[in-house]
Amino acid sequence: MSVPVLSVRNIEKSFGGIRAVRGVTFEVRKGEILGLIGPNGSGKSTLFNCILGQLRPEAGEVEVNGQNVSGMRASDLNRLGVGRTFQQLSVFPKMTVLDNIILAGQEHHGTMLSRLFGPGDAGLTNEAERLISFFRLTHLRDTLAGSLSYGQQKLVDAAMAFMAGPSLVLLDEPAGGVNLTMLANLKERLTAYNAEHGTTFVVIEHNMEFVMSLCTRIIVLAEGGIIAEGKPEEIRANQSVIDAYLGG
Amino acid sequence: MSQFLQVLLSGLATGSIYALVAIGFTLVWQAAQTVNFAQGEFVMLPAFFVLIGMSVFGMPLWIALIFGLAISIVVLGVLFKKMIVEPILPHGGITLIIATMALGILLKESVKEFYSAEAQPFPSLFPGDPINVFGAVLSLQDVFNLVISLGIVVLLTLFLNRTRTGRCMQATAQNPAVAEILGVNVKRMILYTFLINAALAALASFLITPVYLAKFSNGETLGLIAFIAAIVGGFNQIRGAIAGGLLIGVLDNLTAAYVTAQYRAALPLVLLIVIILVRPQGILGTSEGRTV
């Protein structure tokens, strides 16, 4: 059996007296699209931040492609090939779409001298344009990111997450605030990317329709622990999931 | 016509130096979200570093200029960031603004106390010979000041827009948290901003002091005019600082030549009031939202 792309073991995280994440363990295999869902306060964002190095768990380990990355800084994780999108908008508003996407990949290589005197695009224009075209943003290539609609900025954010050629991409509420047309476009593009490149995704999302139609497997969290795990149709029919969401 | 051209070009020459200083306000604002009220003194001081290089160490002018630039970058760039900005910024932007006011007073009074209270002659970098430009008689010094200042602004703009480091500096100013996650060395980019600000202040000092003489109080007027120039042009845009600097330089000269020389000092303040009433984000600036 191959090494899992992401392995999370016994993660524990408390805030004061509240145990936000209680010994969560799961693995994600290459090419999977895993959804992490749960009602508000279930601990999914805390778990996400522990995986991404933005919170330090009290116990447990996180491995990416067999390498222990527990406690690693977010920027080092990014260099290791872990891409991410953000819940809040993460574009650089006064830079063009092209410059935003180049920036997302340029700090992965090069020396201090090449940063000062090397090509301004770090040789990444072609790669950035390929992603711009893939996410159907070609007509917005030279537009300032700050002047785009919210949904378009979400697409730029997604394209930025793929710029470093990641093996794993963590998507933090990608559907939040995006209109239905743009959402269908985003889902279709993510699915296509996954099919073409075999990139593994982990998605946190509140929009059930989006998660159920995008993900190949779903983990449900409630009160900091895993209460269910399975294919979307299994989760849809799971009584404990229904109870957790309805407060039963 | 030739007199108008003469007044215009001479105003542009002075305005381009104001622009260099005003860009410093913009850069520090973008890097630390604060206003450096010691900026005028940052322009006053480098000229004294040069004079010390020449009088104490016996350096020739050009070596003393390099010495002055290097000391300015260390003192007004590195030390300013490490000893004033970094320890005080966590306590809030307003605290830092007050600290920069105190720093301005300290620098001014130190020069007065330890160097001289009298205006010191500062060697001119270029000959003051008059030259004829389309009928307008200009001093060569004005022409060089204009060319050098605009050249520095062009180089800075190219650096910020065309190099990877420049793009990282822009990203740091626009969204530091995300820039850091994408691998940008945010602390280093902020340091670069302070180094560039110090270098710009030193270059402005070398260009303007031959005209004004080196005096401890030079920063008062310069700092105020450059601050107003940055607001008039748009505090959050480098191009705004350039536009504001050039506009004030030209209007100042036009007012002195055609309206009144007596009230020329009031002109930047009148312009400031008009801009705040009519277009508070500045001529080329953009509105910024804040959560309070």
Q: Distance between CA B19 and CA B244 in Å, rounded?
A: 7
* B12 part of a folded domain: yes
Do strands A6-15 and A18-28 pair parallel, antiparallel, or not at all (unpaired)? antiparallel
Q: How confident is the model at residue B168 (pLDDT cuts 50, 70, 90)?
A: very high
pLDDT at A245: 78
How many residue pairs from chains A and B have C-beta atoms closer than 8 A?
66
**What contacts B4, CB < 8 A, 6 or more positions away?**
none
Quick: pLDDT tens for A30-87. 999 999 999 888 898 899 989 988 889 999 999 999 999 988 888 888 888 898 888 7
Instruction: State the nearest Cα–Cα gap between B248 and chain A, in angstroms.
Output: 26
CA A161 to chain centre: 8
Quick check: ipTM above 0.85? no
Residue in B162, B175, B184 nearest the CB of A107: B184
Show residues of chain B in contact with A145, CB under 8 Å. Answer: none
Tokens of A82: 């872990």
Q: Are A61 and A9 in contact (CB under 8 A)?
A: yes
Mutate to test the interface with B, among A85, A94, A156 (most CBs of B within 10 A): A94
Confidence at A1, pLDDT banded by 50, 70, 90: low
Give the chain B residue nearest A107 (alpha carbons). B183
Q: Which residue of B has its CA nearest to A88?
A: B178
**How far is the C-alpha of B255 from the C-alpha of B248, rounded, in Å?**
10
- Asked if B39 contacts B84 with a C-beta cutoff of 8 angstroms, the reply is no
pLDDT of residue A246: 67
Q: Which residue of A has its CA nearest to B167?
A: A103
Spell out which residues of chain A touch residue B175, defining contact as CB-CB under 8 Å: 90-93
Q: What share of chain B is helix, strand, coil (3-state, %, to 5)?
A: 75, 5, 20
pLDDT in tens, A174-214: 888 888 888 898 999 999 999 999 999 999 988 888 999 99
Report pTM.
0.85
Q: Please report the pLDDT score of residue B52 as a whole number.
A: 96
Higher pLDDT, B117 or A115: B117
- Whether B183 is in a domain gets the answer yes
Q: Is the pLDDT of residue B37 over 60?
A: yes
Report d(CA B167, CA B160) in Å as an integer: 6
Q: What pLDDT, on a 0 to 100 scale, did the predictor assign at position A132?
A: 95
Chain A residues interacting with chain B (CB cutoff of 8 angstroms)? 74-75, 78-79, 84, 86, 90-95, 99, 102-104, 106-108, 110, 114-118, 120, 122, 160
Q: Nearest residue on chain B to A119, judged by CA atoms?
A: B163
Interface test with A, best of B30, B159, B160, B167 (most A CBs within 10 A): B167
A20-29, A121-130, B35-44, B46-55: least confidently modelled range = A121-130
Instruction: Provide the percentage of residues in chain A whose pLDDT is more than 90.
Output: 57
The verdict on residue B290 lying in a domain is no
User: What are the extents of the domains in chain A?
Assistant: 6-246
Q: Which residue has the tokens 């960031």?
A: B81
CB–CB of A117 and B163 under 8 A?
yes
* Candidates 3.40.50.300, 1.10.3720.10, 3.30.360.10, 3.40.50.280; CATH matching A6-246: 3.40.50.300
Can you tell me the distance from the alpha carbon of A150 to that of A172, in angstroms, rounded to the nearest whole number?
A: 15
Residues of B in contact with A106 (CB under 8 A): 164, 167-168
Q: Domain range holding B217?
A: 2-127+136-278
CB contact (8 A) between residue A115 and residue B168: yes
pLDDT at residue B33 in the model? 82
Answer yes or no: is B191 within a domain.
yes
Given B161, B165, B183, which is nearest A75 (Cβ)? B183
User: Which CATH number is B238's domain given?
Assistant: 1.10.3470
Per-residue pLDDT at A104 exceeds 80: yes
